[in-house]
A and B are shown apart, each in its own frame.
Chain A
């Protein structure tokens, strides 16, 4: 069939137009099909979800014009829905210094580039109607409908959270400082209290030496009592000083053979053990553990000493061991060391009190035992410095078991 040339190009143009129209129709049809379930009820539900969201939900088209602006967006940014719809987003919520970067990012994405914003949770600065700039958390997603891009942002005002974080941070700093002050105070007080006390003791010794023949028996007895009290006070101050140093000095952490450590501790205590007819056993080997060897040695020494001191049995038995798992009063615990005795035991009402510094329990079965009552306080402090827990089980008259754990030691503890 002959078709004149001008007509041919006209028809070609028409067909191309139809193809274009078809394409548009195809996109529309797909979108329509996808939204087939979009009944009026569904639409209303989606509207209500947007309205009730506690995050600002804002959508813009690829020209940056706002077409969704929910209730929370009104609250967060101060612009009403009527004010915001149809405006350019950059002019509503993006502080002027970030506007150019935002526009460039959108342009780059639309030209097929990548985006470092989409699909991530970001913390940025936003501006409200009043011109206040504040931190927000933001996620942006992109939709492509009928060949056009739409960007939707979920934005959360971080002002409250930031304020809370700041408060928490200040509180933590305060707490750290007050703990440090307390440790420093204990150190300085105990250090400086020692000197005049030594002076008092020295003067009493001079008195005893120089006036021995002038004083009667009663006078000498009173001076000796003064020496006894002074020396006891010195012991308390020394313990206070040691306690403050346990909180101040860093831990010298290394991998430690606990079996060897306990054996070393027992070797140092051998006269004490012999004098009191005490027997310490380690039924099963214990694992190697990362800890401050010197301090954990002190923990075992104190626990074993107590196990023997507070014991009225003819044969004082102590068992030192390790358990992989155990139910503790505060929950399940793993990697637990224990020191178990057949001593006098402790009533449950004293389970917490015994860890208080200089607290000693009265037990008629245990007499003539010297001590300041600081041992368990040291033990607890050391265990806590190792991020561990300490607790006990006891049957009065039968014996006690002290359990402790050591947690992971980070650089901060070292």
Chain B
């Protein structure tokens, strides 16, 4: 009865790097998926978006995302903290969090999985490699995996 499941609405991208966000937008556009993306440029903004705080108190402006792409190195509330806050929140913890970072450091990878990250991906540099990565992301997270219901 999978048709009862809602189609994924939003993919939240939490990243302070404008160039990387632009690259992601371009790759998703090539796959006609750019409408799904919502960008937050700080950890604080992301938590407000998810918990309906700050400028997101009106819930219709902040639809709950189906997936979260999370960068690690951000000023202020960084990716680790955002990950921790999401996984501590009973209402948010079921949303898959995919770490999206330049670091391939083993320590970062292990730490993120320990904290409950659902996947860990390295940002590719070239547009070709990025497009390939986003294709696989789409194939797995949106077409293969079954995601929790959205409410």
Task: State which of A61-69, A193-201, A364-372 sits at the interface with chain B.
Answer: A193-201
Q: How far is the CA of A411 from the CA of B125 in the complex (A)?
A: 40
Over the window 109-126 of chain B, the binary record of Cβ atoms lying under 8 Å from chain A Cβ atoms (1 yes, 0 no) is 000000000000000011
B117 to chain A, nearest CB (A): 21
For residue B14, give the distance in angstroms from its CB to the closest CB of chain A: 17
Q: Does B102 contact A (CB under 8 A)?
A: yes
Contact of A231 with B125 in the complex, beta carbons under 8 Å:
yes
Once A209-B127, A231-B125 are accepted as A-B contacts, the answer to whether A194 and B102 lie under 8 Å apart by CB is: yes
Supposing A198-B19, A199-B19 touch, asked if A205 and B127 sit within 8 A by C-beta, the answer is yes
Among A194, A198, A199, find the residue whose CB has the most chain B CB atoms closer than 10 A: A198
Cα of A194 to Cα of B125 in the assembled complex, Å:
11
A197 to chain B, nearest CB (A): 9
Residues of A within 8 A of B41 (CB): none
Task: Let me know if A206 and B22 touch, CB within 8 A.
Answer: yes
Q: Is A234 an interface residue (CB 8 A)?
A: yes
Cα–Cα distance between A222 and B102 once the two chains are bound (Å): 26
Which of B23, B125, B126: most chain A CB closer than 10 A? Answer: B125
Contact B126 A205 (CB under 8 A): yes
Query: Among residues 69 to 116 in chain B, which have CB atoms less than 8 Å away from a CB atom of chain A?
Result: 102
A195 to B23, CA, bound (A): 14
Docked pose: A199 CA to B126 CA in angstroms: 11
Nearest residue, chain A, Cβ from B20: A202
**How many pairs of A and B residues are in contact by the CB < 8 Å rule?**
25
Q: Contact between A203 and B125 (Cβ–Cβ < 8 Å)?
A: no
In this complex, the member of A194, A202, A206 whose beta carbon has the largest number of chain B beta carbons within 10 angstroms is: A202
**Residues of chain A from 162 to 208 with CB closer than 8 A to chain B in the complex:** 194-195, 198-199, 201-203, 205-206
**Residues A198 and B102 in contact, CB atoms below 8 Å apart:** yes
B26 sits at the interface (CB 8 A): yes
Q: Which single member of B22, B102, B126, B127 contacts A195 (CB below 8 Å)?
A: B102
Assess the B125–A234 pair: CB atoms within 8 A.
Answer: yes
Instruction: Report the bound CA distance from A53 to B88 in whole Å.
Output: 76
Set of chain A residues within 8 Å of B22, measured between Cβ atoms? 202, 206
A203–B102 touching, CB < 8 Å: no
B133 CB, nearest partner CB in chain A, Å: 14
Task: Give, as a whole number of angstroms, the nearest-CB distance from B17 to chain A.
Answer: 8
Question: Which residue of the partner chain B has the closest CB to A241?
Answer: B105
How far, in whole Å, are A205 and B17 apart by their CA atoms in the complex?
Answer: 16
C-alpha spacing A209/B127, complex, angstroms: 9
Q: B103: nearest residue on chain A (CB-CB)? A: A191
Give chain A residues whose Cβ lies under 8 Å from the Cβ of B126. 205
Q: Given that A209-B127, A231-B125, A234-B125 are known contacts, is A202 also in contact with B23, CB under 8 Å in the complex? A: yes
The contact of B26 among A198, A203, A209, by CB within 8 Å, is A209
B127→A198 contact, CB < 8 A: no
Q: In the bound complex, how far is the Cα of B20 from the Cα of A199, in angstroms?
A: 8
In this complex, what residue of B is CB-closest to A208?
Answer: B127
Query: What A residues does B17 contact at CB under 8 A?
Result: 195, 199
A206 to B126 CA separation, bound complex (whole angstroms): 10
- B102→A202 contact, CB < 8 A: no
A203–B26 Cα gap in the complex (Å)?
12
Give the contacts of A214-233 with B (CB-CB under 8 A).
231
Are A203 and B127 touching (Cβ within 8 A)? Answer: no
Q: For A202, list chain B residues within 8 Å (CB).
A: 19-20, 22-23, 125
CB distance from B81 to the nearest CB of A (A): 19
B residues less than 8 Å from A231 (CB atoms): 125
What residues of chain A lie closer than 8 Å to B102, measured between beta carbons? 194-195, 198
Task: Give 17 CB contacts A-B under 8 Å.
Answer: A194-B102, A195-B17, A195-B102, A198-B19, A198-B102, A199-B17, A202-B19, A202-B20, A202-B22, A202-B23, A202-B125, A205-B23, A206-B22, A206-B26, A209-B127, A231-B125, A234-B125
A194-B102, A198-B19, A202-B19 known; 15 new pairs, CB 8 Å cut-off, are A195-B102, A198-B20, A198-B102, A198-B125, A199-B17, A202-B22, A202-B125, A203-B19, A205-B23, A205-B127, A206-B22, A206-B26, A209-B26, A231-B125, A234-B125
| Chain A residues packing against B (C-beta within 8 Å) | 194-195, 198-199, 201-203, 205-206, 209, 231, 234
Q: Which 6 A-B pairs have the closest CB atoms?
A: A202-B19, A199-B19, A205-B127, A202-B23, A201-B125, A198-B125
Measured CB to CB, the residues of B under 8 A from A are 17, 19-20, 22-23, 26, 102, 125-127
